[in-house]
Amino acid sequence: MLEEGLVGHILDGQTFDLEGVRSMRENPLHVNTSPFTSYNYHGKGNFASMLDIAILGATEVDVNFNGNVVTHSDGYLLHGIGGWQNALFGKTVILPIPLFRDRIPVIRDEVTTLVGPGELIDVIVTERGIAINPLRQDLIDATKNSGLPIKSIHELKEEAERICGKPQPPALADDIIAVIKWVDGTVIDSVRAVKREA
């Protein structure tokens, strides 16, 4: 997109492939940044809230657009949050996710672990359609008659469940093994141990 002139700059906190490394090396508009500064809610160099677009992954999303990035649907802890929450302060937050992983739907009634509130997540892009958060009427209006496969989040969830079935929630114990803090330090959820089979 940068090389085609569709965006003015890329501020890149993490590059994971050789093409990205090549672009950063050769293109002065592809700028290397440190996520420890640029996405740190408390840092003087924080520019996450000034981004026009933040594109992030997620392990789950629910029908209220809440996002999970630290556990899978089976309840097992995956990894830390990193700068994911900070990037939610961008003007438009897009989560490109598969409709299902290993035949388990990614869009749920409720996320296993709340990591990001739905009012900060604007668009869910799957291989079977795009859901726009109803709070973003501007995006809904902008995509009318666009030819894009716009669907409601409920339609995407129902489609995944038609293909894979409705998944059972994980069996969780009472033991808390981790807590999820918001950027201001407020605890917004807890991760409980998965019950072991007897």
95's enclosing H/E stretch is strand 92-96
Predicted structure pTM score: 0.85
Tens of pLDDT, residues 37-89:
777 778 777 888 888 899 999 999 999 999 999 998 889 999 888 889 988 99
Query: Given this model, what pLDDT does residue 137 score?
Result: 97
When mean pLDDT is compared across 87-91, 108-112, 154-158, the lowest value belongs to 87-91
Average pLDDT value for residue range 85-105 = 93
In-domain check, residue 31: no
CATH number for the domain including 88? 3.40.1080.10
Rounded to whole angstroms, how far apart are CA atoms 111 and 67? 7
State which residues form the domain around 125: 52-171
Determine the Cα–Cα distance for residues 62 and 33; give it in Å rounded to an integer: 31
Q: Is the pLDDT of residue 144 over 90?
A: yes
Our count of domains for the chain comes to 1
What DSSP string describes 35-55?
A: HHHHT-TTSTT--GGG-SEEE
